[in-house]
Amino acid sequence: MKEVSIQLPYFDLLLQEFDKKNTDAEQALGRHVHWGYWPNPELAKINIVDFEIATENLSKLIYKAANIQEGMRVLDVGCGFGGTIASLNDNFSSLEIVGINIDNRQLERAREKVKPLGNNKIEFIQGNACNLPLEAETFDVVLAVECIFHFPERFAFLKETSRVLRPEGKLALSDFVLPNKQFFIDFLLYYLGKMLISSFYGDAKCCTMEDYKNLALKTGLKEIVHQDITAEILPTYDILLDVFKRLDKGRFIPCWTTEILKYSQSSERVLYKVIAYEKKN
């Protein structure tokens, strides 16, 4: 596949900070590049060590929703720096894991950081989530941890996921989801926020749970897990803001866009969901 360079300002910033040996950025976002999960958010400590535990907890929550067992073949789509794969590698044996990402810069880091343990097999490949370069019915589980909103369209991804899953195989994902009913002012806030957030975190395509239900019907998937963890991910924002404020430069845009996201989630104008599906026979 021809090399593709995706210029996401968020990843550009992280990779620059890693190159500069920024230990805070490395510790906070060098393994997992997603939000944290605190079962008791009121007990969250706003520090990087607590965030490391929380990001690991989010990966575990999602792959447990898929009921991963040893010996399975697992696909992690939008695998980032390989954090979820590293967690699977640490906690299971005899897995065959494939990580796919369209951005080769992230894959290069994943290959460097994640080496197989416990008789696991790990492969990282470059590819498009909406046109997977993989054979049909060859995976037991597909994971999409906090990445689906970046894909060109959810329908194409879910259709491809259904194609590569074996019968009764499972998809587990996390996503930012809009409430089904929105007032006019919420639409204005959404589009204004979306425009500003896209300038740093990259383009995000939101949808509602009603959209997900319709997409599942069209792609032969049956919902088996539906968990709203909006409150449990909220401490993420204060930790990210602390990290961004201590950067040498470029603090304004990361902090401002993170504040918008924090407001949208704390006011429940955007929800954070973990959803799992099973492929119908």
Closest Cα partner for 253 from 185, 202, 205, 204? 202
Q: State the total domains in the chain.
A: 1
Most confident range (mean pLDDT) of 89-98, 181-190, 197-206, 266-275 is 89-98
Asked, for residue 3, whether it belongs to a domain, the answer is no
Give 171-181 pLDDT, tens digit per residue.
Answer: 999 999 988 65
pLDDT confidence of residue 7: 61
Backbone angles phi and psi of 121, in degrees to 5: -120, 130
| pLDDT tier for residue 95 given thresholds of 50, 70 and 90 | very high
Cβ contacts of 64 within 8 Å, gap of 6 or more: none
Asked, for residue 2, whether it belongs to a domain, the answer is no
Task: Look up residue 24 and give its amino acid.
Answer: D
CA torsion angle 229 154 145 21 (round to 10): -120
Asked, for residue 183, whether it belongs to a domain, the answer is yes
Give the residues across from 101 on adjacent strands. 126
| Tokens standing for residue 58 | 């989010």
pTM of the complete model: 0.93
Average pLDDT over residues 99-118: 96
Asked, for residue 1, whether it belongs to a domain, the answer is no
Asked, for residue 160, whether it belongs to a domain, the answer is yes
Average pLDDT over residues 198-226: 89
CATH number at residue 161: 3.40.50.150
Q: Using alpha carbons, list the distances in angstroms from residue 70 to 37, 74, 94, 97, 168.
A: 24, 10, 6, 11, 17
| Contacts by 193-201, CB closer than 8 A, 24 or more apart | 193/260, 193/261, 193/264, 196/256, 196/257, 196/260, 197/257, 197/260, 197/261, 199/9, 199/253, 199/257, 200/9, 200/10, 200/253, 200/254, 200/257, 201/8, 201/9, 201/10, 201/257, 201/261
| pLDDT tier for residue 202 given thresholds of 50, 70 and 90 | confident
| Tokens standing for residue 121 | 């097999």
Range of the domain at 190: 9-279
Q: How many residues does the chain have?
A: 281
Average pLDDT over residues 242-265: 83
Q: Count CB-CB contacts under 10 A for residue 207.
A: 18
Asked, for residue 4, whether it belongs to a domain, the answer is no
Backbone angles phi and psi of 205, in degrees to 5: -110, 105
Asked, for residue 158, whether it belongs to a domain, the answer is yes
Give 143-199 pLDDT, tens digit per residue.
Answer: 999 999 889 899 999 999 999 999 999 999 999 998 865 554 466 666 666 676 777
